Chain A
């Protein structure tokens, strides 16, 4: 396997450098950084265009662009949403560096006309199945309790569903919650939610850009089947000390940033914390001494982000970023001390080096971990339980642009995974109890890749890539060849057709024993018994610019096949189980659907409407010595949605006032309900009980879900900076959507005899207004 990887790498690198020979005569390269003139931060996705033409390039994540131009005078237009466009006239006689600082529109009091360049770029690119989220879009979208949430905003895009009311789950094109590669500045985040999935871990104030790939995965990404959520943190203000924050109903956040060395380096520190526990402690204190009162446990979560960047020279930059997030649930009294904490830790050191204007490299080392720990001390006894995964990664990514027709990326990734799939320890101070166990596994995951975005001519553009991946764990080695391909055919300047195919391998798996994502879910490597998951996804699509380019209408049809899916047998025991693999059942999955998306990014009224028609299936026959699930017949996972509609409309009433409405409709979740029941008396007949007789998995549906949310952002411009009040109303028309359904046993209160049974529906959130105060200085 190692030899194969080595040979293939060599071949790919030779191919890359042979293609350099195609450099045209009398052409030179103009390159540089595009930055925010006020803060010195890099602008990702800024456009550089030759005036009067459609030829242009877009800056990368570091704000860097490079453009091959013919010798002679030329006029370049630099633009970015929310910034004043700049035009530079230059005469190209040699390779030159041209860095540009774009000025943000001051206090945005002038009438902003947001150029729809983003739509043109979407039309032109070969990339399919990608959703990008801007800070402004995020800010305007109304959310429950006013808590801005990246993942909840992404759930409003076609092909992405939540899995349940107010959940931050991410289910992409029929993929499971563990099939998303979630990256924060290139470090993997294993559990991207707080409070059992109600809030995501990303503090919006610390985030620069969000890309969600639903298919057509670029070759530099791998390791998950269904999506890549690439979140980039902001770098921090390089010009002056500044800050931003917000005070909400359930949490507050504060971000401070300062130059360490003006224009060369900066530091950003950002934090967020909830205050449930402050209120519950007050309630507990007020009831001190009340014998009928049961103390309420403390619960809170927090996120800390930090980032330092330093410009070593014109060609070298260093970035150090970190994240620490924890959920903490605790209960303590005189003799009982219970603690349950879980969360992610991540740290990345990245070195960006520019060899020349056509070749640059990003090298990074990172650490990421997810863990949960339960500790319980009472009397002379103590007990602890936990599991974790720790990753130590190194990667090197090259970007090579030999000319304007080719954009080549290649690189290598390596990760050492350290799994503690179960740890339990119990003891007593008198030594009469002392037992425990720990099951540890490890794995080495590596990949090399190359991809070329090749513009053949005005009409044809292809992106061809190959990723070779491998995984070794406890004497077993797996390899995967992952071709990635997409093609775009531009019918005319307003219409493009696209197609893509991608294979993905996933070598680590989430072992979850409930229908919802829990912090106690365990990550498990591929082993002798557990094969890597594999998916093949194909997509066909087209985009058309309408009404003078103000609207973009896109359609994508996809089919995804998933092999070696993992589930748990009924009654599985996953905690501290040294034979955990015996609880697994293996099977297949497949999904297909069509996504229609209409978006408008220009003018006072912006937004989008998305509709997805899709089917998702899973099938688990008898395997691994365990019974089949659903008798081996295909079934819908609970997040299967036949119809999914979302409409988000933002209207700027005035420079100070913006109103947003978001409406969602989807088919109800697939659910299992027991068609029958029986009674068990047990070994003593004192407590006979009704046992639900479940038969088919997820053969029924909840009622359809729909909801309207409204948000109003009211801006203020005090002398010291900017602020706003964000009002949001969740579930405006108070639709009581079903959260779950259960069957209640109706009893005679006097005789305790059963009278009958009744189905009941429970809803979670009625209409919920909220207000958040945000500030920036």
Chain B
């Protein structure tokens, strides 16, 4: 539904853009200099726990909007993840995961088991600046995918995908995120949004895309079951992005899932399927 809301805001934006185009003979955009209020950098953490993977996170710092392009790492922090009473201090070891194409700079050795539903507690101390970040997460039950269907348009070869899956717990509010990548899990993102699983046929949730796919396209459909704090984080991040550049959007303060800083600490419970779009004869 949030997606719909944004659609109307986008629509309003389209009208503005059209008006701008009509007046294209005038230079209606220009560079300006803004004196922003002083900004004190905040610790930013991004840590996704994933089944079968070791603890890994990236720790950086936010900067002045017009400051240096590269974000400063925080090499001296004490990063500890505790699970079932066992704590591990992660070591500063910058690296790049070619599978997920993600950078990280703190790593551990503990391999995550998503079947274990116990709490994971994150604690990051930066003694140099007396800053402390904490966060807690657990693995939620992963959703079960029923079907992925391709529906082709009569007039051309484009198709939309319809992904159907079961709501994990019909008695409680559940939040989901769907990501569809082309060719590989790190390929171009064709569809991405988060939603509350309120609208169901029976207990089945159906999510459609635009006519964005063609015959023989290979896609990876991932459906995540996410908790409310992560959902709020994703939504407020998107609203903050909208707030920079869309006059109809309300600038939004990002709600992190961690205390004392910015970012996210969450366990990823998801189902993923590769799908080849085929037009049935």
A and B: partners? Answer: yes
Residues of chain A having any CB pair with chain B under 8 Å: 164, 195-196, 299, 329, 333-336, 340, 374, 378-381, 385, 424, 426, 432-437, 513-516, 518-520, 568, 570-571, 573-578, 627, 672-681, 683-687, 689, 691-697, 699-700, 734, 736, 739-743, 754-768
Q: What are 16 inter-chain pairs, A to B, with CB distance below 8 A?
A: A299-B15, A380-B151, A381-B208, A424-B199, A432-B201, A571-B239, A676-B39, A676-B63, A677-B65, A679-B71, A683-B179, A685-B100, A686-B189, A691-B254, A693-B254, A762-B20
**Contact indicator A676/B41 (Cβ below 8 Å):** yes
- B residues 18-57 in Cβ contact with A at 8 Å: 19-20, 23, 26-34, 36-39, 41-42, 44, 46, 48
Q: Which residues of B contact A699 (CB under 8 A)?
A: 37
- B114 at interface, CB cutoff 8 A: no
Chain B residue at minimum C-beta to C-beta distance from A762? B29
Q: Which residues of B contact A759 (CB under 8 A)?
A: 31-34, 66
Chain A residue at minimum C-beta to C-beta distance from B200? A435
**Contact indicator A675/B19 (Cβ below 8 Å):** no
- B residues 213-246 in Cβ contact with A at 8 Å: 224, 232, 235-237, 239-241, 243-246
Chain A residue at minimum C-beta to C-beta distance from B262? A678
- B251 at interface, CB cutoff 8 A: yes
**Contact indicator A575/B1 (Cβ below 8 Å):** yes
- B80 at interface, CB cutoff 8 A: no
**Contact indicator A736/B30 (Cβ below 8 Å):** yes
From A335, A374, A515, A674, B153 is in contact (CB under 8 Å) with A335
From B4, B8, B28, B69, A766 is in contact (CB under 8 Å) with B28
Minimum CB–CB distance for B132 against chain A, Å: 18
Q: Which residues of B contact A385 (CB under 8 A)?
A: 4
**Contact indicator B103/A685 (Cβ below 8 Å):** yes
- In Å, the complex CA distance between A640 and B204 comes to 48
Q: Which residues of A contact B63 (CB under 8 A)?
A: 676-678
**Contact indicator A513/B32 (Cβ below 8 Å):** no
Q: Which residues of A contact B64 (CB under 8 A)?
A: 675-676
**Contact indicator A573/B237 (Cβ below 8 Å):** no
Chain A residue at minimum C-beta to C-beta distance from B195? A573
Minimum CB–CB distance for A34 against chain B, Å: 45
Q: Which residues of B contact A762 (CB under 8 A)?
A: 20, 28-29, 247
Q: Which residues of A contact B268 (CB under 8 A)?
A: 683
Q: Which residues of B contact A768 (CB under 8 A)?
A: 23
From B151, B241, B246, A379 is in contact (CB under 8 Å) with B151
Number of interface residues of B (CB under 8 A): 91
- In Å, the complex CA distance between A648 and B250 comes to 33
Binds A, one of B115-123, B134-142, B180-188: B180-188
From A432, A570, A761, B253 is in contact (CB under 8 Å) with A570
Residues of chain B having any CB pair with chain A under 8 Å: 1-2, 4-5, 8-9, 11-12, 15-16, 19-20, 23, 26-34, 36-39, 41-42, 44, 46, 48, 58, 60-66, 69, 71, 97, 100-103, 151, 153-155, 160, 179, 181, 185-189, 196, 198-201, 206, 208, 211, 224, 232, 235-237, 239-241, 243-255, 262-264, 268
**Contact indicator A694/B240 (Cβ below 8 Å):** yes
- In Å, the complex CA distance between A743 and B34 comes to 10
**Contact indicator A571/B181 (Cβ below 8 Å):** no
From B42, B65, B154, B160, A692 is in contact (CB under 8 Å) with B65
With A573-B1, A573-B196, A675-B65 already in contact, the answer to whether A681 and B254 are too (CB < 8 A) is no
With A676-B39, A762-B29 already in contact, the answer to whether A196 and B34 are too (CB < 8 A) is no
**Contact indicator A678/B44 (Cβ below 8 Å):** yes
- In Å, the complex CA distance between A437 and B58 comes to 42
**Contact indicator A515/B181 (Cβ below 8 Å):** no
Minimum CB–CB distance for B199 against chain A, Å: 5
Chain A residue at minimum C-beta to C-beta distance from B4? A575
Minimum CB–CB distance for A724 against chain B, Å: 27
Minimum CB–CB distance for A522 against chain B, Å: 11
**Contact indicator B12/A516 (Cβ below 8 Å):** yes
**Contact indicator B48/A683 (Cβ below 8 Å):** yes
| The 4 nearest A-B residue pairs measured at CB | A685-B102, A675-B39, A742-B245, A678-B62
